[in-house]
Structure formats: structure tokens, C-alpha cells
Amino acid sequence: MKPNVKAYNKAMHKELVSLWRGAAKAFIDALIQHGIVKVDTGMSKASIIPLAERLRLGKIVRASISSRRGPRVGYTDIRGVWHPRGEKSQATGERLGEKGYTFETGSPDKPDFRFRFRIVVYQWAFHESQWGALDIAQRAFIDYANRNKNTALRKALRKLFKPTETRINK
């Protein structure tokens, strides 16, 4: 048998992408399931939606937001600048969240795995030291990856040695 390196690289990348997506989903799940990101208008929690949409979890995150009150006029941005004509709302949080994450997986020929989530809503940044949301979510990401990495490796290794020909001597 001859090692099929190209098939292995493709399979390994596929399994690592699946592992990466699963870990990012665990990150989001930790943020929404434990009620650690508090909700007033829903702006902070809504900033998770763009990443959640990328991972096909948008509906779940939206359903987890039950704001105590509706949108309010004016909001403070992440730099502490007041926007009197802006709106503190779920829609604003979602818009700000579009620039709040990096999620990359590269290609089988050039794997480049990156995941970064940044707080882009002032209220969340202000309360994060009390909430500890990112620490909990980061732990969920790492735990998921550690629990599932061996399975991903085993699946990819099955592609390394692929029988090319069988000869039977008579």
C-alpha cells in the first residue's frame, strides 16, 4: 500500500474544519445557554448573531434574546462615544457584530485556522469583568476541541492508506 497524502490532507482539513466549527458552536452555546450575557435591549447578545449565522445558529441565538424593553434612542459605542441619533437595539448589536469576529479555516493545501471573538458593544465590555462570559465561552471552545480531536484524527487517518491494487497469487 502506498500512502495517499493528497486524500489524507483533504480528509484532515475536512475533519479539522468540522472540529473548528463544533468548537465555535460550543463557544456560542456557552454564551447563550448560561444567561451570562445579560439582556436589556438585546444589543449585546445580538452582537453574537453574525458569527452564529456563519455557523448556522442564527435562529437559536435570536430565540435566546428576550429583551426587557424595546429599542432606546442613543447608544454609547465601544470607544465610549455617545451617538444621540443612534439606537440601542438588537439591530444595532447585530450590525456591530459583523466586525466582531474572525473565523477562518483555509484550504486543504494551505490550512489556516483562526477564531477570534471581540466584544463590540459598550454595555458588554463594561460588564464583562462581572459576567466572565468570554472566559466561560473560551473554556467551552477548548473543552470541545480536546474532547473531539482524537475522533477527527482517526477519521482522517483512514484516508492515508487507501488500497490501490490487490494481487492474488495462485
Would you give per-residue pLDDT tens digits along the chain (170 residues)?
Answer: 677 778 888 888 999 999 999 999 999 999 998 777 888 888 999 999 999 999 999 999 999 888 778 899 999 999 999 999 999 999 999 999 999 999 999 999 899 999 999 999 999 999 998 999 999 999 999 999 999 999 988 887 776 665 554 455 55
Residue with cell 484550504: 107
Contact 71, 41 (CB under 8 A): yes
Global confidence as pTM: 0.85
pLDDT at 153: 87
The set of cell numbers assigned to 6 is 493528497
What pLDDT is recorded for position 43?
92
- Residue 162: what pLDDT? 59
Query: What pLDDT, on the 0 to 100 scale, is given for residue 160?
Result: 66
Cα separation of 43 and 88, whole Å?
A: 6
Grid cell at residue 77:
459605542
- What residues does 76 pair with on adjacent strands? 82
Give the model's pLDDT for residue 163: 54
Q: What is the pLDDT of residue 1?
A: 62
Q: Say what the pLDDT of residue 97 is.
A: 95
Q: Torsion over CA of 109, 27, 56 and 9, rounded to 10 degrees?
A: 20
DSSP states along 92-113: HHHHHHTTSEEEEEE-SSSEEE
